[in-house]
Homo-oligomer: A and B are copies of this chain.
Amino acid sequence: MELTPAGCRAREVLDRVGDKWSLLVIALLGERTKRFTELKREIDGISQRMLTVTLRALERDGIVTRTVYPVVPPRVEYSLTPMGATLMDAANTLVRWAEGHVSQIDAARADYDSRTEEAMS
């Protein structure tokens, strides 16, 4: 893998899909089609604005579709496109990895910090 100038655009794509909120949205829509309010509830801590921005960017990239049902009040649903579905496994793996390694990472950090302090004292 040589990430030469041709890889530059790929990095821009990676920057977008590697984004924390995008990964979470992709992983959650991988379960099934969801409404905005469901996503908002499931991604604790995301603001209304950040979820809107994330969904719009994913829609523009062709990863998510937004369907508006003309009922009162309007019902808006989000799904993965076929292209988005090909990202799902990778997104899921990363999200699960993060969930499963919090304590190992905490331990590694404490260890690193104590070694660094020792080296400086």
Q: Which residue numbers of A lie inside 8 Å of B, CB to CB?
A: 1-5, 7-11, 13-15, 17-20, 23-24, 27-28, 31, 42-45, 59-63, 83, 86-87, 89-91, 93-95, 97-99, 101-102, 104-105, 107-109, 111-113
Contact = CB atoms under 8 A, between A and B. Distances in A.
Contact of A23 (B14, B93, B108, B111): B14
Contacts of A44: 3-5, 7-8
A108 to B, nearest CB: 3
Number of copies: 2
Nearest to A20: B15
Contacts of A8: 44-45
Given A17-B94, A60-B109, 4 more contacts: A1-B31, A3-B44, A17-B97, A60-B108
Contacts of A24: 3, 11, 14
Contacts of A9: 102
Given A3-B43, A87-B97, A62 B105 contact: yes
